[in-house]
Structure 1
Amino acid sequence: MAKLFYIVGASGAGKDSLMNYCRKALDGNTAPVVFAHRYITRPVGAGHENHICLSHEEFKLRQQNGLFAMYWHSHNLHYGIGIEINAWLQRGFNVVVNGSREYLDVARSLFPDHLQAISIEADPEVIAHRLQNRGRETGSELKERISRNSTLIFDRDGVIVIENNLTLEEAGRHLLKTLLSGIIEHA
Structure 2
Amino acid sequence: MSLAPVIAVVGPSGVGKDSVIRALLDREPGYCRVRRVITRPMGEQGEDFDRVTEAQFHLMASDGAFALHWSAHGLLYGIPASILDRRRAARGVLVNLSRSVLTQAQDVFKDLVVVSLTAAPEVLAQRLRDRGRESTSAQADRLGRAGTPLPDGLRRVITVDNSGPLARTVDQILQQLQGERA
The superposition leaves residues 51-95 of structure 1 with CA deviations (integer Å, 9 ceiling, x where unpaired) of 111111111110111100011111111111000111222345421
1:77 corresponds in structure 2 to: 75
Consecutive unaligned residues of structure 2, counting only runs of 5 or more, are none
Root mean square deviation, CA, Å: 2.3
| Counterparts in 2 of 1:22 and 1:44: CA distance versus 1, 3 Å | farther
| One-letter amino acid matched to 1:10 | P
SS at match of 1:154: coil
2:64 corresponds in structure 1 to: 66
Structure 1 segment 1-187 matched on structure 2, within 5 A: 1=2, 2-26=4-28, 29=29, 31=30, 33-43=31-41, 46-91=44-89, 93-112=91-110, 114-155=111-152, 158-178=156-176, 181=178, 183=180
Q: Distance in 2 between matches of 1:44 and 1:140?
A: 21
Q: Distance in 2 between matches of 1:184 and 1:75?
A: 35
| Counterparts in 2 of 1:120 and 1:44: CA distance versus 1, 3 Å | farther
Native 8 Å contact 2:68 2:78 kept in 1: yes
The superposition leaves residues 118-150 of structure 1 with CA deviations (integer Å, 9 ceiling, x where unpaired) of 101111111111111111112221111111222
| Counterparts in 2 of 1:84 and 1:7: CA distance versus 1, 3 Å | same
SS at match of 1:81: strand
Q: Distance in 1 between matches of 2:179 and 2:83?
A: 17
| One-letter amino acid matched to 2:15 | A
Q: TM-score, normalised by structure 2?
A: 0.87
Q: TM-score, normalised by structure 1?
A: 0.85
Consecutive unaligned residues of structure 1, counting only runs of 5 or more, are none
| One-letter amino acid matched to 1:12 | G
- How far does residue 157 in structure 1 lie from its aligned partner after superposition? 5.0
* Identical pairs, percent: 34
| One-letter amino acid matched to 1:8 | V
| Counterparts in 2 of 1:158 and 1:150: CA distance versus 1, 3 Å | same
| One-letter amino acid matched to 1:72 | W
- How far does residue 177 in structure 1 lie from its aligned partner after superposition? 4.5
- How far does residue 184 in structure 1 lie from its aligned partner after superposition? 6.4
Q: Which runs of 4+ in 1 moved over 6 A?
A: none
